[in-house]
Amino acid sequence: MNALVRFLPRQRAVAALITGVLLALGVALYAALPDQMAIHWNAAGEPDNVVAKPIAVLAMPAVVVFMSVLFEASSIDIGERIVGSLAMLMLLVVQVIVFGANLGYDVSIVPITLGLAGGMVAVSVWVQRR
């Protein structure tokens, strides 16, 4: 755990690692993914937004890079860098869930995303109070 705590403030390195993992996953799974991919689900867990496969595969890495640039452009403290790194890790988990759902796995989208969001809020509050 201590190594993770030391790594998370290195937000640029976290962003590079997550972007690389996202791109590698996208390349590895590309042929198996459908041409139109669900990227959003409603509260009942039903897909309500689809996009073309290249967009679904490349959008999340682009969001992580954009977040990293925003964090670098602003003067933020160590707690905010940790929260930003955790948010990027959450985006990695979300992308894995999206890939899994589009590959036909039975993924409980709503409880997982609610848990992730709640966990992110809890960790953010904890980090900011430290």
Domain range for residue 91? 2-129
Confidence bin at 126 (pLDDT 50/70/90): confident
What are the tens digits of pLDDT across the range 80-99? 777 788 888 889 999 999 99
What are the tens digits of pLDDT across the range 94-123? 999 999 999 999 988 888 888 988 887 887
Residue with tokens 């190594």: 3
**How many domains is the chain partitioned into structurally?**
1
DSSP class of residue 36 equals: E
Mean pLDDT of 50-59: 96
Question: pLDDT at position 4, please?
Answer: 56
What residues contact 40, with CB distance under 8 A and at least 6 apart? Answer: 47, 48, 49
Residue with tokens 């979300």: 94
Whole-prediction pTM: 0.83
